[in-house]
Structure 1
Amino acid sequence: MYSCLETSLTIVVLVLSYSPFVYSLELILKRYYSPIMDIVRVLVLGTILISALAEPYPTSLQRQPIETNTSVRQSEMDANSTPVPGRRGVVETSVGGRSRRQRRNVFQLCRVIRKYTSNSCFDYNNYGCFCGLRSRGSHPVDDVDRCCLEHDHCFTSLRCTLLSFTTYSMKCSGSKCTCTTDSKTTSCRYRSCQCDIKFGECLQAARYNKRHKNFNTLRCH
């Protein structure tokens, strides 16, 4: 038995000492070692990932459902909401003190303001909390500012698109105007005209206060 083992070891030593065999084995290891190790890494990572996903989270780490107080959320929404005139059940919600406003045709609006008040539309830009490009809080500072807020609500209730490019025609006599743009009173052109005319009538009845021009919006609430 000892002689057989000695013979086997001798054969192994002779094979390993054979230089072409050693060289071929070295080339095989250099060529295939890196791809084989990459495959092994992928298999190991995949096994770890599958086991992690299959294992449930401990109870202490599971996300708990968030309890919401419906009455509190509803009261907060009601406090920051203002009814839209002419649309039952529709409200405009002010989020973070700033409400979203519908764009409109400024050139036609300036014409209406001039007809009804003899003032420039620039006189109402940055007036109060809602006139011009501003829209802050939910409480107008005076009647002029309230007119601007109602005008915003009127345009929001139209549910029309591209109103900044919508044109209309009107007929004026003295300081009164009527819409003549469309026979269909449900069209966006006619209703946008009506919103502007109502705004002009509102400004005509309101008292302009110069102290509210360029009003500090930090005071809007």
Structure 2
Amino acid sequence: MVLRRSAIKSNLSSRHPEQRRSANYHPSVWEAALIESLTTPFSYEVHGAKLEDLKKEARNLLEYDKDPCSTLKLIDSMQRLGVSYHFGKEIDDALDNVISSKPAIDDLYTTSLMLRILREHAYPISTDVFNKFRGRDGKFVESLGSDMTALLSLYEASHLGMHGEDVMDEAKEFSSGHLKSSWETLDCDLAMQVKQSLENLYVGGCPELRL
């Protein structure tokens, strides 16, 4: 049987409208008037000169510090603080100097830091720099497992491996294994760094990057 349009309309209108559920959200306290009323004691007009002085000091450090380890640590700190974009040219020049100086770096922490920073800035660097830390079997020597700061640096660098670089996969497995088994025994600050890196890897201020 075919129902007329008027009958269908009458039938629908006789039903009780469905009540939509309410999530009972509380009204936001962030009204426009409140936001506009917020003030800060900081302004470029007042603090701009101090800011420019600090930027000048940082540029001088990048330009005149000839110690590769100090330079790499400074660039790493700038990236982690999110201010490296102020010093793009100075950082490139500083990394050019690091490359040209061919530094003799013998510790795992600085070697890993150098590889990570250079690759983050698209400089070519071979994983052969890790050969001195590997035994005859090609594996990282176990004595390195007690230096958590160096292992953290190695772990962060290991995520910048390229296809076919098995040593980077070995570095990741070696470093992550020791970090996961030992981080709870570390002092508070280092333990927090290790935990954060294992949970949310830092690579140049970005999530994990695989070239």
Is the TM-score greater than 0.5? no
TM range (shorter): under 0.3
Which has the larger share of helix?
2
Which has the larger share of strand?
1
**Which structure has more RCO (C-alpha within 8 Å, separation ≥ 6)?**
1
